[in-house]
Amino acid sequence: MRSEAERLKDIEPFRVMAILARARALEAEGRDIIHLEVGEPDFATPEPIVQAGIAALQAGHTHYTPALGLPVLREAIARYYGERYGVDLAAERIAVTPGASGGLLLAMAALFNPGDEVLLADPGYPCNRHFARVLEVKAKSIPVGPDTDYQFNAELVAKNWGSNTRGVLLANPANPTGSVIDATTLRGIHQAVRERGGWLLVDEIYHELIYDRAEPTALGLGDDVIVINSFSKYFLMTGWRLGWLVLPQALVPAVDKLAQNLFLAAPTLAQHAALAALAPTTRPLLEARKAELKARRDYLLPELRRLGFGMPVEPAGAFYLYADCSRFGGDSEIFVERLLLETGVAVTPGTDFAMADGRRHVRFAYTAELSRLREAVDRMEVWLR
């Protein structure tokens, strides 16, 4: 008689959650599992941020904030762009959101109509096409590969732009590939999008986790770029659910209205704690974690290549390695299941991220300490032999 909505047919569950559940079940049986599946740093939130959260609770900050966030936090985020990137921003352009998830929904809802088309890179973060689906917006997934460092460029934008295309959403660095767009390519993409009267949205939630070079934020390209960011990854505040948008001034009232209606506001406590996340005194702690992530990548990348995984371009950011496992035969979902059952190493099948080549890839999240990565490599080496 009554069924769920049609959109559910197009919205896929995270396969990683099934892997995680299976891994936890094996752990309950006494198996030692190495968790490289979840897209979340293993580090706890740094102490100064936690202490700021406790202080906010003790001060009774438990009521709603304005829909776009605490004014003092919006100002601190604007200052952050000045200090970190040399980009001068008005605090009014910042919208504090319930995670980058909230920001992605708000931005897409503010910009795109049903039937509009948005270009996304495939592989990419799967929720992006699901946000679009919920809004009846058409996500057009463009296969990208090692030849373009798994990213868009101006030519790909030009080639794939259609009569209903209204924008491009890209992530820099990207999940699951860790690939980073260089400044010139990004400028070319922005130009191509602008010439076509579209919107450029750049997800920079991993931008502070670019390891070997400095890259500018897309905000430097012009006031018309929309940036999505988050306190989850570099700032290690996943469970607090806090992110932000940087918006063209003209879109702020639209996003304010949407945020009032869809969310009321982001969590108050997290907003107070986030002030400590942006404090200069916290930065060395965050940089130390970043150095640890880099050390893990520098260990795991060559080792996985040695074992036979294909990674033709070096992932320059985030904490993921998107590895071609086709040399070991079969489908990545079966590979991942066997790897977990037979070695206790949990990774994510590429099918969570890619429609084009997901069955040939797996994602390693280097969110376990070095000794555990070594153990994982040792186990895989025996198993793959």
112 binds a copy of itself (CB under 8 A): yes
In the complex with a copy of itself, the residue whose CB is nearer, 184 or 249, is 249
Neighbours of 30 (CB within 10 A): 6
370 binds a copy of itself (CB under 8 A): no
Structure tokens at 220: 């430097």
In the complex with a copy of itself, the residue whose CB is nearer, 46 or 377, is 46
Q: Is the peptide bond before 173 cis (omega within 30 degrees of 0)?
A: yes
In the complex with a copy of itself, the residue whose CB is nearer, 2 or 385, is 2
268 binds a copy of itself (CB under 8 A): yes
Neighbours of 63 (CB within 10 A): 7
The span from the CA of 189 to the CA of 70, in Å, is 33
Single out the residue of 258, 277, 362, 376 in contact with a copy of itself (rule: CB under 8 A): 258
Structure tokens at 107: 């931005």
Contact set for a copy of itself, span 280-309 (CB under 8 A): none
163 binds a copy of itself (CB under 8 A): no
Of 7-15, 73-81, 319-327, 337-345, which part binds a copy of itself (CB under 8 A)?
Answer: 7-15
In the complex with a copy of itself, the residue whose CB is nearer, 113 or 184, is 113
1 binds a copy of itself (CB under 8 A): yes
The span from the CA of 363 to the CA of 38, in Å, is 10
In the complex with a copy of itself, the residue whose CB is nearer, 210 or 237, is 237
Give me the least distance between CB of 11 and a copy of itself, in Å please.
5
Helices (H) and strands (E) in the chain, counts: 12, 12
Give me the amino acid identity at 251: L
Structure tokens at 311: 């990674």
4 binds a copy of itself (CB under 8 A): yes
Single out the residue of 94, 169, 192, 270 in contact with a copy of itself (rule: CB under 8 A): 270
The span from the CA of 131 to the CA of 137, in Å, is 8
Of 88-96, 102-110, 140-148, 289-297, which part binds a copy of itself (CB under 8 A)?
Answer: 102-110
Mode of pairing for the β-strands spanning 226-230 and 243-246: antiparallel
Contact set for a copy of itself, span 173-202 (CB under 8 A): 197-199
Single out the residue of 113, 164, 184, 249 in contact with a copy of itself (rule: CB under 8 A): 113
Give me the least distance between CB of 135 and a copy of itself, in Å please.
7
Q: Is 140 exposed, middle or buried (0-12, 13-18, 19+ CB in 10 A)?
A: middle
Provide DSSP, 303-329: HHHHHT-B--S---BTTEEEEE-GGG-
Sheet holding 199-203, edge to edge: 94-97, 243-246, 226-230, 199-203, 165-171, 117-122, 138-143
Of 9-17, 154-162, 306-314, 320-328, which part binds a copy of itself (CB under 8 A)?
Answer: 9-17
In the complex with a copy of itself, the residue whose CB is nearer, 8 or 334, is 8
The dihedral of CA 24, 30, 36, 42: what is its sign? positive
In the complex with a copy of itself, the residue whose CB is nearer, 15 or 360, is 15
In the complex with a copy of itself, the residue whose CB is nearer, 170 or 323, is 170
Residue pair 269/62 in contact (Cβ under 8 Å)? The answer is yes
Q: Is the peptide bond before 176 cis (omega within 30 degrees of 0)?
A: yes
Single out the residue of 32, 83, 88, 136 in contact with a copy of itself (rule: CB under 8 A): 136
Residue pair 242/231 in contact (Cβ under 8 Å)? The answer is yes
Give me the least distance between CB of 341 and a copy of itself, in Å please.
22
Contact set for a copy of itself, span 198-257 (CB under 8 A): 198-199, 224, 236-241, 251, 253-254, 256-257
Contact set for a copy of itself, span 38-77 (CB under 8 A): 38, 40, 44-45, 50, 53-54, 57-58, 60-67
Single out the residue of 23, 33, 89, 135 in contact with a copy of itself (rule: CB under 8 A): 135
Task: Please tell me the count of residues contacting a copy of itself according to CB under 8 A.
Answer: 74
